[in-house]
Amino acid sequence: MVTTVLNGKTVSDAMLLSLAQTVRSLHLQTDRDPGLSVVLVGDNPASRVYVEAKKKACAKVGINSFDYRLAPEEGEGALIDLISHLNSDPDVHGILVQLPLPKGFDEQKIIEAINPAKDVDGFHPMNVGRVWQGLAGFKSCTPYGVFELLRYYDISVEGKHVVIIGRSNIVGKPLASILVQRAAGANATVTICHSKSENLHQLTRSADILVAAIGVPGFVTADMVRPGAVVIDVGINRVEDESAKSGYRVVGDVDFASVSAISGAITPVPGGVGPMTIAMLMKNTVESFERDIAEVKE
Ligand code: GUN
């Protein structure tokens, strides 16, 4: 079977271009620009790479990016103070605190300190709850990116069985909340599997669309996939590779070589879901800016 490789980089680039046009036209109307604050605590190397990628995307779209670096020793209090300052800064439309936070930080408390109207990550319980209820709210960027990628390639999930491996608050649960809605581009039958799921192979083989979001390199092998199924790989794992200059290589949760031989469509890693996540962060930030402009006008 010839599989379709779903190119997230191409789709993301197209979305960034379209967002840049929106921002330019809003600038002409209002003389204002959107702003995104990205806060990094500590110096986790993977987080640093993500933060740089976000900065680059902001530059492409015309979003002002404000970078904040805190040392872990400054503590949770300093982070909360910074968030409350950003919450009330009219030039900031999105606040992103890069996760994971160092030991000793209460992630839930930090997420809940962010004004839901600026929570462009879509992690605040207010946004999570609103999305579950089918109301307007920021959708988390990775699930939103999966949704938009499927839409771009005209892969309908309506009435289809979507099986998600992984129940995280960042991917598994919010993806289910988006795809199960009674809404255009959704209406899927969704199953979430996790480490305690029995008969995992049986479940994954019943998927029309299989999403891997577990963080285990190469976890999904060809025997877990129904021939012709669409396979979405959300994993971004660093594995040692002596032949690489950096000493590591990035691989997904899917064994691409074996699965791509039987899938109907598949996302690569890198270049699949990853770039879509960043595009959706930009989209949410521009949306927050648009809401702000609309409020100021009223
Ligand atoms: N860490 C891994 N993915 C994400 C994300 O989408 N947002 C934030 N803030 N941190 C992350």
Q: Is 119 in the pocket of ligand 1 (CB under 6 A)?
A: no
Q: 220 CA to middle of ligand 1, Å?
A: 23
What is the pLDDT, as a whole number, of residue 84?
98
How does pLDDT run across 57-70, given as a tens digit for each residue? 999 999 999 999 99
The tokens for 30 are 């209002």
**Domain 30-115, what fold?**
Rossmann fold (3.40.50)
**Calpha distance 12→149 (Å, rounded):** 9
How does pLDDT run across 89-134, given as a tens digit for each residue? 999 999 999 999 999 999 999 999 999 999 999 999 999 999 999 9
**Calpha distance 16→57 (Å, rounded):** 7
Q: Is 96 in the pocket of ligand 1 (CB under 6 A)?
A: yes
The tokens for 25 are 């036209």
Q: pTM of this prediction?
A: 0.97
Q: Is 40 in the pocket of ligand 1 (CB under 6 A)?
A: no
- Give the chain's residues under pLDDT 70: 298
CA-281 nearest atom, ligand 1: 6
Q: Are the C-beta atoms of residues 243 and 58 closer than 8 Å to each other? A: no
- Domain span(s) for CATH 3.40.50.10860 in the chain: 30-115
Q: In the chain, count of helices (H) and strands (E)? A: 10, 11
Nearest Cα residue to atom 9 of ligand 1: 98
Residues known to be catalytic? 54, 98, 121
CATH architecture observed for domain 141-274: 3-Layer(aba) Sandwich (3.40)
Q: Is 286 in the pocket of ligand 1 (CB under 6 A)?
A: no
Q: 278 CA to middle of ligand 1, Å?
A: 10
- Domain span(s) for CATH 3.40.50.720 in the chain: 141-274
